[in-house]
């Protein structure tokens, strides 16, 4: 199964600008019950990610929630291609000890976000399909 079959498409990914207050990312995560927010610049390019861990760390350090989100975001974005397999993504997560990766198309354009939860859910769907196989589009074949 390719990443496009189980990622969150860019149109449904919650994001905020790099100069938005930290409180904006926190509010998005709480209201939408999500674990990360992609940070974009004014040219709509993904430049970072803020996770629950980043927020907990900033709380621990006493950072003012009105500071720009760029102060706490992880700017080292890990990326995968939309044609990468589930196992390729799982290997990246395991090797880098991360839970999120930005999905890019062949032109390097941001097309989605994939999380460790997405990979786990995809594994569960494969397990339920047994003894049949699933194709790259997610369909079950006998």
CA pair distance 120, 123, nearest whole angstrom: 5
Is the CB of residue 46 less than 8 Å from the CB of residue 65? no
**pLDDT surpassing 70 at residue 141:** no
- 10-33 pLDDT, tens digit per residue, is 999 999 999 999 999 999 999 999
Rounded to whole angstroms, what are the CA distances from 48 to 18, 69, 87?
A: 8, 9, 24
Alpha helices in the chain (DSSP H): 22-32, 52-60, 86-96, 116-129
Q: What is the SS3 assignment for 52?
A: helix
Give me the chain's average pLDDT, please. 90
When pLDDT is averaged across residues 55-60 and rounded to a whole number, the result is 94
- Domain 3-129: what homologous superfamily? CBS-domain (3.10.580.10)
Average pLDDT over residues 97-125: 91
pLDDT at 121 over 70: yes
Give the Å distances, CA to CA, from 11 to 36, 38, 139: 15, 12, 23
């Amino acid at each position: 199964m390719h990443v496009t079959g189980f990622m969150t498409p860019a149109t449904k990914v919650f994001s905020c600008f790099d100069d938005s207050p930290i409180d904006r990312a926190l509010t998005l995560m709480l209201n939408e019950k999500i674990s990360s927010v992609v940070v974009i610049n004014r040219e709509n390019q993904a430049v970072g990610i803020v996770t629950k861990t980043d927020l907990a760390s900033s709380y621990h350090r006493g950072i003012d929630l009105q500071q720009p989100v760029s102060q706490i975001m992880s700017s080292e974005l890990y990326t995968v291609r939309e044609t990468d397999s589930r196992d390729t993504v799982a290997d990246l997560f395991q090797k880098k000890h991360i839970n999120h990766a930005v999905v890019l198309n062949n032109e390097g354009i941001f097309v989605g976000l994939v999380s460790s939860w997405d990979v786990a859910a995809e594994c569960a769907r494969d397990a339920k399909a047994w003894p049949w196989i699933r194709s790259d589009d997610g369909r079950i074949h006998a």
